Amino acid sequence: MKYIIIFLFASIISSAQINKEQLNIMPWPQNISLSEGVFPLTKNLKVNITGAPNSRIFIGATNFLRRLDGRTGLFFNQGFITGLNELPDAELQINCVRAGKIELYEDESYLLDVTANKITINATTDVGALHALETLLQLLQNNSNSFYFPISKISDFPRFTWRGLMIDVARHFMPVDVIKRNLDGMAAVKMNVFHWHLVDDQGWRIEMKKHPKLIQMASDGNYYTQEEIKSVVKYASDRGILVVPEIDVPGHGSAILTAYPEIGSKVVNLHLNSGEKGQQFTQIQSYSIERNAGIFSPTLDPSNPKTYQLLNEFFDEICPLFPGKFFHIGGDENEGKDWDSNPKIQEFKKKHNLANNHELQTYFTMQLIPMLKKHNKVLMGWEEIMTKNMSKDAIIHSWKGSNEGQPAGKSLADAAKGGYKTVLSNGYYIDLVFGVEDHYSVDPMPKNFVLTDEEKARILGGEATMWTELVTPETLDSRIWPRTAAIAERFWSNENIKDINSLRKRLNTVSFRLEELGLTHLKSKEGLLRNISNNQKSDALVDLSNVCEPIKQYSRNKGGTEYQMYSPLTLFADVCTPDASDAIGFNEAVNDYLNNKTNENQIIVTNYLNKWVNMHANLITLSNNAPLVQPLLPLSKNLKDISEQLLLKINNNQSIGASVLDELLEKCNSKEHADVELAVYNSLKKLVQA
């Protein structure tokens, strides 16, 4: 009897035909074909590795086994993979021609072939093979009783060689484990550059053995030891990821100048000081770690030889920690206020025939190139470093766009035309908390500028930027994921892969699976809500969080002074995320209903409205023992009020009159409550105006 069941069961699985639409692969591969049938997973699955790979593939393959085992509970027999050709008969064979290098333009391609009883991965390098293992994990399917892979052939390679994520650890320090879990997330979606923003006005984050003042005076005790940095670089390398450190100069200099005020540009106050041997002049300058957010004037003095001496010494200590070829020196947002008001610097400008501060900054930046070249490093900087005299070896990081008063992609195109290699971040500022569609629709290859093939080739790719003025280790993941997976697809996949519905559907599963890596973007919500609700169980609070999004584009921290770097980021706005799930669902429901007013479609809409009417009553009850719920009540009241009227309108064809309805609607467009906005406003408006 047992045999018959197994036989039947196997035949059910093997006849399954999976469609591409069922797959939740992200980034979508360049070529994929599916055939009928499956490779059934059992506890006997084993992995064998051949060829001449870097040993990172052993770690990657072992992690693959553990992740698959965690999902399926199959208790795989194989424990640790530590060498070549350990199990020649294994069902999963990985062959790598040679060891991959962690650098740009490395061959990251792979072929993945799943048949009914064998899986083969062929790749030039172990980096490609790691990508194949991530794709294979994403291929996993199940029925009610078992797990399997569909029979398939995939040939894949990246569209862009620079697929980056920047994390700012200066505004809010992010411990090593937080960085590492995000490196795992990057690897899962085939990103390959981690840009580590290590220094800014709010802190210096690298242990400096020869200049300990930097961490003693400018880190609040929050910094990475050099050993930790090495361990992050190794961890990244094991996942095929290059680490690019950033030391932001000459602006964003408060932290550096807190330790070394003598290289600051601020005009020096001269005080008379009566020393033992008569009168002396003493220079009094002072800087302190910045606690607010914004653009500040502390700037290194480009006319002071000591500035270059110190930076040279810093780089001598920092460069050996990072084996990669690129070193980011920032260079952004230097407004030059302290330069303008410093006569010594003005004199220096004249002496060197530097027409303006931009030229002065170029002078400064050019001094850094040989300091880095000595360590075999290429200088990279934000687009402000690009001037007519800037070395063509520098890499231009394009970040400005329409918000900064220039056409999107212009600086990228200018850089490419000007002979610079360049990377795009405008459009990928995930800290603005826009929805995923905004970022997904931005292509790193600008459409509104005509570029030659040679110029296009200088566009290395793109990079999502996670600035952390309003982000803590607890909320970081929910600000990066899952949206960054969609950006990763933009960087890797064919430019024609852009269907937003397919993206949303796949993102749902990809997001869920990312948590197996230790990421907390979904589960951190529960803990934060528990605090807000004062440990009271509440579906109402969850419901409200599913229709609210944090207010966008830096409007939460008006002028940069509402929140300090030590302010509580445990509030409702920190729970809410872009792409509020019920807002998306409600929008679909409203569109369906307005297109086709069936009873069924109407019920879906009115279920939402009824939910929000009840939600408000429940939140009032909840607030009796939860002060942090009080500020949310105006939001839920506004949503309740319009929902009640819309229910009357839809169900009973009653209306209180257009002007009152409009007034209620507009209350739902308020951004005055709890730093969030009701993400259902546009859908409500459609119903009001229907």
The torsion angles phi and psi of 381, rounded to 5 degrees, stand at -155, 160
Q: Which of 31, 34, 26 is nearest to 135 (CA)?
A: 26
Which span (3-11, 103-111, 172-180, 460-468) binds its own copies, by CB under 8 A? 172-180
Using CB under 8 A as the binding rule, whether residue 471 contacts its own copies is answered as: no
Cβ atoms of 485 and 507 within 8 Å: the answer is yes
| Residue matched to tokens 């035909």 | 17
| Amino acid sitting at position 587 | N
Using CB under 8 A as the binding rule, whether residue 142 contacts its own copies is answered as: yes
Using CB under 8 A as the binding rule, whether residue 627 contacts its own copies is answered as: yes
Nearer to its own copies, 65 or 642 (CB): 65
CA distances from 356 to 303, 305, 310, 336, 390 (A): 14, 20, 25, 10, 15
By three-state DSSP, how is residue 232 classified?
A: helix
Nearer to its own copies, 97 or 522 (CB): 522
Closest distance between its own copies and the C-beta of residue 177, in Å? 4
Q: Which of 465, 483, 437, 488 is nearest to 131 (CA)?
A: 488
Nearer to its own copies, 137 or 372 (CB): 137
Q: Which of 566, 595, 599, 657 binds its own copies (CB under 8 A)?
A: 566
Nearer to its own copies, 192 or 202 (CB): 202
Residue in 86, 103, 333, 515 annotated catalytic: 333
In the shown chain, the binding pattern of residues 10 to 49 toward its own copies, with x for contact by CB under 8 A and - for none, equals ----------------------------------------
Residue list 307-346, contact with its own copies (CB under 8 A)? none
Nearer to its own copies, 223 or 429 (CB): 223
CA distances from 672 to 4, 551, 557, 573, 639 (A): 66, 9, 12, 12, 14
Nearer to its own copies, 410 or 616 (CB): 616
Report the relative pairing of strands 421-424 and 326-328 from DSSP bridges.
unpaired
Q: Which of 176, 319, 604, 650 binds its own copies (CB under 8 A)?
A: 176
- How many amino acids of this chain bind its own copies (CB under 8 A)? 57
Q: Which of 6, 80, 306, 452 binds its own copies (CB under 8 A)?
A: 80
Using CB under 8 A as the binding rule, whether residue 542 contacts its own copies is answered as: no
Q: Which of 19, 75, 392, 559 binds its own copies (CB under 8 A)?
A: 75
Closest distance between its own copies and the C-beta of residue 144, in Å? 5
Which span (347-355, 404-412, 453-461, 512-520) binds its own copies, by CB under 8 A? 512-520
Q: Which of 30, 115, 146, 610 binds its own copies (CB under 8 A)?
A: 146
∠ CA 68-70-76, nearest 5°, is 65
Nearer to its own copies, 68 or 497 (CB): 68
Q: Which of 606, 597, 593, 610 is nearest to 651 (CA)?
A: 606
Residue list 440-469, contact with its own copies (CB under 8 A)? none
Residue list 242-301, contact with its own copies (CB under 8 A)? 291
| Three-state SS sequence of 45-102 | CCEEEEECCCCHHHHHHHHHHHHHHHHHCCCCCCCCCCCCCCCCCCCEEEEEEECCCC
Closest distance between its own copies and the C-beta of residue 222, in Å? 10
By three-state DSSP, how is residue 267 classified?
A: coil
Nearer to its own copies, 130 or 571 (CB): 571
Using CB under 8 A as the binding rule, whether residue 523 contacts its own copies is answered as: yes
| Three-state SS sequence of 481-513 | CCHHHHHHHHHHCCCCCCCHHHHHHHHHHHHHH
**Is 526 known to be catalytic?**
no
Cβ atoms of 65 and 57 within 8 Å: the answer is no
Cβ atoms of 419 and 283 within 8 Å: the answer is no
**Cβ-based burial of 276 (10 A; exposed 0-12, middle 13-18, buried ≥19):** exposed
**Packing angle, helices 226-238 and 56-72, rounded to 10:** 70
Which span (218-226, 326-334, 402-410, 584-592) binds its own copies, by CB under 8 A? 218-226
Closest distance between its own copies and the C-beta of residue 67, in Å? 10
Q: Which of 341, 508, 596, 689 binds its own copies (CB under 8 A)?
A: 508
Beta-bridge partners for 113: 120, 153
Closest distance between its own copies and the C-beta of residue 101, in Å? 22
**Cβ-based burial of 500 (10 A; exposed 0-12, middle 13-18, buried ≥19):** middle
Looking at the annotation, which residues are catalytic?
A: 333
Residues making contact with its own copies (CB under 8 A): 59, 66, 69-75, 79-80, 142-147, 175-177, 220-221, 225, 227, 231, 291, 474, 508-509, 512, 515-516, 518, 522-524, 526-527, 530-531, 534-535, 563-568, 570-571, 623-628, 630
